[in-house]
Homo-oligomer: A and B are copies of this chain.
């Protein structure tokens, strides 16, 4: 019977593409991973990977085995979840990952209700950029995460994670109130305020401009939307801001709704949905979101 630890390495290889990366993710030496994958191939009796340049790539058989590995690991995660339930339910550490805006808007109420209803839970919040969430979940650094999903960016459906939709917002183009231009095309010649490179916001803004037929002149790199809006109000540039990012609207800023939608979901490792603490967190965030949206209207 196949060794599950090795299957996990193979699955991670499918995602991380290189043995060295898998080794880093598992805090192993690259040699150890290489050895274990070689042994897995011997067990399997088929070539699972082949050299490709100075790296490796999965053979079709390897990819097929990865699919099975996903189900095996999800089943193990589910087993863990029912054990956690048996262990007395809502106790222990839960690590929640959220993007900065959510930490300000959605999470406070959710955390308060969780702390009140389940005093046995040790909640830990990590502010993280959305792009880093999936990896953090998979590497078991996080248990629950708030993730984004734009139309513009390839949302790569992830077989190792389960996501349940939470809310959908419109994205605005924030421009100084006195500005004359309207909409994305009009911002072609404007100075742009983007997130720091590598963040999802950065990518989305680039893609949006690209779709409008130009590359923006990037002038500032700021992640915090309050700060971004302050810069816009000061007339220093334009920026993309999602609905959640505009808590109080300054009179010096005009918000032009764009046909870009931002969907937010709560995510967890597949199989961990049965974990009572995970389920409680997801539910608390959902309730807090509902409350927050009701408070806005």
Is A253 an interface residue when CB atoms closer than 8 A count as contact? no
Is A75 an interface residue when CB atoms closer than 8 A count as contact? yes
Contact with B along A23-65 (1 / 0, CB 8 A): 0000000000000000000001110000000000000110011
Is A246 an interface residue when CB atoms closer than 8 A count as contact? no
CB closest chain-B residue, reference A77: B1
Is A110 an interface residue when CB atoms closer than 8 A count as contact? no
Interface of A is mostly: helix
* Closest-CB distance, A75 to chain B (whole angstroms): 4
Option from B61, B71, B72, B80 in Cβ contact (under 8 Å) with A83: B61
* Closest-CB distance, A206 to chain B (whole angstroms): 38
Q: Which of A1-15 contact B (CB under 8 A)?
A: 1-2, 4, 7
Contact with B along A83-122 (1 / 0, CB 8 A): 1001100000000000000000000000000000000000
Distance between Cα atoms of A87 and B47 in the complex (Å) = 9
* Closest-CB distance, A48 to chain B (whole angstroms): 9
User: What chain B residues lie within 8 Å of A221 (beta carbons)?
Assistant: none
Option from B7, B73, B87 in Cβ contact (under 8 Å) with A46: B87
